[in-house]
Structure 1
């Protein structure tokens, strides 16, 4: 009986953890979009300057700043280059978050920007959303967790018993 309750608790824990995945992925995507908008807004003035004087070539603007005799302009060249690089990285992150649900989840788990993922985790509030995809995530996560844990315990039992199965004993009453 205790074993059955432990299985239910394990399944419920897996379910509750699994329903967090879509919410976390969604929050990560929203943060990426917010950072991208902020970076684009900060970079807008430089792109306008590059458009006006260098036919839209921001690299030419950066090179112009670097070749200046003014140390302030040389310093700003690095700032512009960093801002351009950050905008490109965030744009790639945003594009990755436009794919199907499994691609987004895999991206957040494996390839996500570490700073934004950590920021999302630190600001994440646990929630239980009720939509079909969230419910599916929860059930699949619960089943996988229960299967893995149960398999580990069965494997440990098999190792402890030396690879032999216990023969069931049948009590027979011949009287």
Structure 2
């Protein structure tokens, strides 16, 4: 029976190691996706930014306001599109700024605060890999030890509860 629990621990540890190594890989692929979207959005906004630079001292909001106040319906409609692109660039820049911190903060950001659409795209296109860098190995070992300790704790807790139930004195009913 002991060899079964030893193998179970080994399997749990290896599974935790492989899952933990994926954390930096997911963060890396998410960051690359954000960067690609930011590059594309910035390129799409570039012409309007040049106009804002030329006529409004680089103030994109002033350009949008100008379009919104125009008598031309086409310009007013374009103001909605320009605002969308401008807000998207700002949001993606903020996302990239959050991903420029240390690995623990980046992983926390991706886990709890990531852009849901970009995270969904990342996971749909995710390709499992084993990164062989120090951070990935640390994540893997920490995950493996944590998962193994959690399993050991659960098994010990169940054993403790089972012993308490077995050793509980039985109360006889006198009625």
SS at structure 1 position matched to 2:164:
coil
Aligned to 1:126: 128
TM-score (norm. length: structure 2): 0.89
Aligned to 1:15: 17
Aligned to 1:82: 84
**Is 1:4 equivalent to 2:6 in the alignment?**
yes
Question: How far apart are residue 52 of structure 1 and its match?
Answer: 1.3
TM-score (norm. length: structure 1): 0.89
Out of 32, 35, 38, the position equivalent to 1:33 is: 35
Counterpart contact for 1:19–1:138, Cα < 8 Å: yes
Aligned to 2:172: none
SS at structure 2 position matched to 1:112:
coil
SS at structure 2 position matched to 1:19:
helix
Structure 2 unaligned blocks of 5 or more = 168-175
Q: Give the Cα–Cα distance (whole angstroms) in 2 for the partners of residues 127 and 51 of structure 1.
A: 44
Aligned to 2:71: 69
Counterpart contact for 1:62–1:81, Cα < 8 Å: yes
What are the equivalent positions in structure 2 for 1:74-113 lying under 5 Å apart? 74-113=76-115
Structure 1 unaligned blocks of 5 or more = 166-175
> Deviation per CA, 1:71-130, whole angstroms, max 9, x where unpaired?
221111111111111101100111111111111111111111111111111111111122
Aligned to 1:148: 150
Number of residue equivalences: 165
> Deviation per CA, 1:32-73, whole angstroms, max 9, x where unpaired?
111111111111111111111222221111111111222221
